[in-house]
Amino acid sequence: MSPPAPSSAAGTGTGTEAEAEAETGRGAGTGTGAEATTATTAAARSPLPRRAFRRVLRPEVWKRGPVLTAAALLLGLVMLLHAQIPNRVGSLGSLVETFLPWFAVFIPVLAAGALWRRSVSAMIALVLPVTAWLSLFGGLLVDKSEPGGDLTVATHNVGADNPDPAGTAHELVASGVDVLALEEITDEDRSVYEKELAGTYPYHTVQGTVGLWSKLPLSGTRPVDIATDYGPLADTKPADVQLAGNRALRTTVTTDQGPLVVYVAHLGSVRLNPRAGFWTDSRDRNAQALGTVLAADRSERVMLLGDLNGTLDDRALAGITSQLDSVQDAAGDGFGFSWPAKFPVARIDQILVRGVEPTDSWTLPATGSDHLPVAAGVSW
C-alpha cells in the first residue's frame, strides 16, 4: 500500500511562511533603507545652519578684526557728533562738516574688510555709521521736486579767471530763469555781462563784485555791509573804494504775487594748508555779519542767492541757516554739489528762502567758471 501523499495544505503553509518571512525581510530591509535615507537627508539639511550658528558663537569669531570694529564705531560717532568736534585747532569741525556726506565711502571699505576677516563684531559695528549717515542725508536721496512754480531763479559764481564770460552769459540766458545772481564779477568782465544779458534781463544792478539781473522790476537796491573791510583802517577808505570791493547787495523784485526781497552775497574764501589747517576767518566774519543783517530784516518773503563758500552742515553758517531754508533740502534731488565744476564734491553755492515754497532745485550745465550754476523754482 502506497504511503499517503504529503498534504498540500502543509506545503502551502510552509511556502507561505517562507514567503512571509522573505517579505518581512524585504520590508525590514526597505524600512531600514528609508530610515537611512531620511537620516541622511536630515543630516544634510540641519547641520548647515547649526554649524553656521555655532561658528558665530565661537569666541574667536568675535575677537577678529578689532581694528575694523573700532574704525566703524569711530566713523559712526564722528558723523553723529560732528557738531562737537572743536574748531579751535585749524577749524577741524568745519572741515569735517564740509565733506561730511563723503564719509559714506568708508562704509563699503570697512564692510569688505569685515567680510574678509569674517568679523561679526565689525559687521555689527557698521550699523552705527550706516544709520548715522542715513539720518543725516537719507532724505536727499529722494526726488522732492514738484511741477510748476511762480518764479525761477539761479545763482552763479562766474569766476574772476573765466576765459569766456560771453559764453557763460549765453549759457545762463539759455536756462530761462527769471532772476539771475552773479558773483565774482571783475571790472574787466562787467561790461560783457551787462551787454550779453541786457536783451533777456531788462532790469539789473551791480554792486561791487556781485550783481542781479531780472525780467521783473527791481527797487530799493543798495549794497550790504558784511564786514568785508575789516580792521582799524577800514573806515578810512573812500566810499567808492569800499563799493568796488563790495560782496553783497539787497534789492526788491516786484512779482505778480507781491514783493520779494533778494540778497546776493559772496562770502570770503576759505583755504586749506598744512600750517593753518582750514582757514575760514573772513568767511566766518562775513557769515556772522550777514546773519545779523538777515535777523534785522522783517520782510515777509526773503531769498538769499550766492556763493557762501561753505556747506549748510558747516556750523559757521548757522546764523544764516537758522533763518532761511535750503531749496535743495526742500525740493531737490540729490546733493546738488556745485564745486569744483569738473568734479563737484560740495555744495557751496546756495539758494535759501523764507516765506515762499521751493518747488524744484537743480544744477545747470558747466560754464567757463570753476563753479556750477544752481537754480530753483519757488511758489507763493
Per-residue pLDDT in tens (0 to 9) along the chain, 380 residues: 444 444 444 444 444 444 444 444 444 444 444 444 554 454 445 566 666 556 655 666 667 899 999 999 999 999 999 999 999 989 999 999 999 999 999 999 999 999 999 999 999 999 999 999 999 999 999 999 999 899 999 999 999 999 999 999 999 999 999 999 999 999 999 999 999 999 999 999 999 999 999 999 999 999 999 998 776 556 666 666 667 789 999 999 999 999 999 999 999 999 998 888 999 999 999 999 999 999 999 999 999 999 999 999 999 999 999 999 999 999 999 999 999 999 999 999 999 999 999 999 999 999 999 999 999 999 99
Question: Would strands 258-266 and 357-363 be described as parallel, antiparallel, or unpaired?
Answer: unpaired
Please confirm whether the linkage preceding 340 is cis (ω < 30° from 0). Answer: yes
Q: What is the C-alpha radius of gyration for the chain, rounded to an integer number of angstroms? A: 37
| pLDDT attached to residue 63 | 78
Neighbours of 95 (CB within 10 A): 18
pLDDT of residue 244: 72
Number of Cβ atoms within 10 Å of the Cβ of 80: 16
pLDDT in the model for residue 64: 85
User: Could you tell me which of 217, 219, 222, 220 has the C-alpha nearest to residue 206?
Assistant: 222
In this prediction, residue 229 carries a pLDDT of: 76
3-state secondary structure the chain: CCCCCCCHHHHHHHHHHHHHHHHHHHHHHHHHHHHHHHHHHHHHHCHHHHHHHHHHHCHHHHHCCHHHHHHHHHHHHHHHCHHHCCCCCCCHHHHHHHCHHHHHHHHHHHHHHHHHHCCHHHHHHCHHHHHHHHHHHHHHHCCCCCCCCCEEEEEEECCCCCCCHHHHHHHHHHHCCCEEEEECCCHHHHHHHHHHHCCCCCEEEEECCEEEEECCCEEEEEECCCCCCCCCCHHHCCHHHHHHCCCEEEEEEEECCEEEEEEEEECCCCEEECCCEEECHHHHHHHHHHHHHHHHCCCCCEEEEEECCCCCCCHHHHHHHCCCEEHHHHHCCCCCCCECCCCCCECCEEEEEECCEEEEEEECCCCCCCCCCEEEEEEC
pLDDT, residue 148, reads 86
Q: Identify the sign of the CA torsion 292, 355, 378, 180.
A: negative
The model carries a pTM of: 0.83
Place of cell 533778494: 262
